[in-house]
Amino acid sequence: MTLAPDTVDIAIERIGARGDGVADVGGRRVFVPLGVPGDRLRVRLGRPRGEGVEAEIVERLADGSDRAAPPCRHFGDCGGCQLQHLSGEAYRRWKRAVVVEALAQRGVAAEVEPLLALSAATRRRAKFVAERRGGPIQFGFNARRSRRAVDVGTCLVLAPTLARLLPTIRAALPAIVAEGQRIELQVTALPRGADLLAIGGGALGAARRDALKALAATADMARIAWRASEGAETEIVVERRAVVADFDGVGVELPPGAFLQASAEGEAAMRAFVLEACGRAARVADLFAGCGSFAAPLARKARVKAVEGDPAACAALEDAARERADLRLKVERRDLERRPLLPSELEAFDAVIFDPPRGGAGAQAKQLARLGVPTVVALSCNPATFARDARMLLDGGYRLERVRPIDQFVFSAHVEVAAVFRAGRPGV
């Protein structure tokens, strides 16, 4: 059989950091979505990617032993999950290995604990897209590596309280999404009701306002807000109840679109890790504190300074501190990438926590490495930037005591990392 010039037969050797199968062909890496180690595949080569090339499966010639039947019918087209086709044990090994390999690339030798697995149906927060392009509204998630909306009827990773909202939201969309429009719907399910922020639909208008109010009533949502475009002002359309997150018994009223850990179970696991690592620390700094998922409960037993760049998040945490006399909590608004805490400021603390965005805490880690705060607790959703920051701390004299991967993003290529550093001998 003669193959087309851009078609080759390959064997998948491993899974890469983005969840794709990886093969080496003539000294060039080939990245194949939905491939697993041991697969023999006929693939069509596509566009360049880094030092290699992307490819798509034309035919599966033989399956690797770790291949499993995906439990979701949307898998492969929907971009929300990358790893449903991998058997459970192989999946857990791979997630842990992502952290191990990221550290190894920075020369960090550490004993990485087994993956803390969470069940699939735990996501309380998700970003949906609704798109209308000359036919029925497509409501779901982006397609794999595309902005095309994939219409999703069910989703296995959503918490039941969030999944139950989807039919009601779908029914309301014809009055909300105009022809040619694409709107992002950020939905968070909380104990007092869901919070929805719609982004990208342009001017709100009376008809849309009425439709959104009706949706809030029908779905018993706590709040719906509207943002005409990314970066525009946020308008509260309806607020039927306060939107409150419970951080281990401390309530914080959230602003629209506030960052919240993807699952309550993941947040609880991370918080337990932080509290144990901080131990009896009397003075704690929580950097990139968000709305206080760690700072608020810690402030019941220690003096805590929460530092965060988002003004709305700072205001929410300040309000919570004013309402609770038992919280020893101060809040500072500060862009930690542009203006990290310096050693002269850090020396006041027994422990420092940082949980930055995916870009990591490079500027802050550099300052921490200059001082030697007794305990540093690092959390990250990006093993690569975590490893970079860890290398800085180790070079500054810290030792890496614990590394725990947490599977907060089930079936995706993402993994949460929690780690403890202690001031001491230089790392290896």
Instruction: List the CATH number of the domain containing 350.
Output: 3.40.50.150
pLDDT at 235 over 80: yes
Predicted confidence at residue 425, as pLDDT, reads: 47
Band (426; pLDDT cuts 50, 70, 90): very low
Pair 283, 352 in one domain: yes
Do 159 and 53 sit in the same domain of this protein? no
Please tell me whether residue 269 adopts helix, strand or coil conformation.
helix
**pLDDT by residue (tens digit) across 266-308?**
999 999 999 999 999 999 999 999 999 999 999 999 999 999 9
Q: How many domains does the chain have?
A: 3
**Mean pLDDT of the 150-177 span:** 96
In a domain, 157, yes or no: yes
User: Looking at residue 18, which CATH number applies to its domain?
Assistant: 2.40.50.140
**Dihedral sign of CA atoms 286, 287, 291, 293 in order:** negative
Same structural domain, 145 and 218: yes
72 is a domain residue: no
User: Same structural domain for residues 53 and 130?
Assistant: no
**CA-to-CA distance for 32 and 60, rounded, in angstroms?**
12
Residue 201 lies in a domain: yes
The pLDDT, as a whole number, for residue 2 is 54
* pLDDT tens string 34-85: 999 999 999 999 999 988 999 999 999 999 999 999 999 999 999 999 999 9
Of all residues in the chain, what percent are helix, strand and coil, respectively (each to 5)? 25, 30, 45
Tokens of 205: 């208008």
Are 54 and 110 part of one and the same domain?
A: no
What is the per-residue DSSP string for 54-118?
EEEEEEEEE--TTB---S-TTBTTBSS-S-TTB-HHHHHHHHHHHHHHHHHHTT----BPPPB--
**Chosen domain end from 241, 271, 306:** 241
Indicate which residues carry an active-site annotation: 381
Q: What is the pLDDT of residue 4?
A: 63
Average model confidence (pLDDT) for the chain?
A: 95
pLDDT on residue 402: 97
**Domain co-membership, 110 together with 21:** no
300 and 411 inside one domain: yes
Report d(CA 419, CA 379) in Å as an integer. 6
373 and 287 in a common domain: yes
Which tens digits make up the pLDDT trace of 108-159?
A: 999 999 999 999 999 999 999 999 999 999 999 999 888 899 999 889 999 9
82 within domain boundaries = no
87 occurs within a structural domain: no
Looking at the domain assignment, is residue 200 inside a domain? yes
Q: Using the 8-state DSSP alphabet, how is residue 3 labeled?
A: P
Q: 404: part of which helix (H) or strand (E)?
A: strand 398-406
* Mean pLDDT, residues 218-245 taken together: 96
Tell me the C-alpha distance between 285 and 353, whole Å.
6
Q: What is the DSSP letter of 397?
A: T
**Cα angle at 257 between 80 and 175, to 5 degrees?**
75
Q: What is the pLDDT of residue 144?
A: 87
Parallel/antiparallel/unpaired status of strands 125-131 and 182-188: antiparallel
Nearest to 296 by CA among 273, 271, 333: 271
**Is there a contact between 24 and 12 (Cβ–Cβ < 8 Å)?**
no
pTM across the whole model: 0.93
Do 266 and 303 belong together in one domain? Answer: yes
- Domain range holding 129? 125-189+193-241
145, part of any domain: yes
For 403-416, how does the pLDDT look when each residue is reduced to its tens digit (9 = 90+)? 999 999 999 999 99
Say if residue 56 is in the same domain as residue 109. Answer: no
* Mean pLDDT confidence for 329-350: 97
Same domain, 108 and 141: no
Domain co-membership, 375 together with 402: yes
For residue 201, pLDDT over 90 is answered with yes
Whether residue 368 lies inside any domain: the answer is yes
pLDDT value for 51? 85
